[in-house]
Amino acid sequence: METVGEAVAELILTLLACALLACLALIVYLSWSFSPRLTVSGAGLLSLFLAHGAWRTFRDPAKGRGRRGFAAVTTAGFTLTAATGVFLLFYGAGCSCL
């Protein structure tokens, strides 16, 4: 029974990863067909946002100061993106839908 449960859970996670990959590809396709310049600009801004979040995540905070405001948002965005990337690395690699 445990093996069946693990197989079903693996199947559900793989399907979720395939659906996430399909949605990301659809977003890029629709964005590019709407405006290529805006797509490249948005990708650049998203890269800056994630780079700031990574920098704030791995940098030692100043004494007596926690993460506030924009730094907290970029750190959370970077963490969420990194977790999604790890999820897709483990479960999206076996997706034969692409």
Render pLDDT for 5-50 as a digit per residue (tens, 0 to 9): 888 888 888 888 888 888 888 999 999 999 999 999 999 999 999 9
Residue 23 near residue 97 (C-beta atoms within 8 A): no
Do residues 53 and 74 lie in contact, with contact meaning Cβ atoms separated by under 8 Å?
yes
pTM: 0.75
Domain ranges for the chain, please list them.
2-92
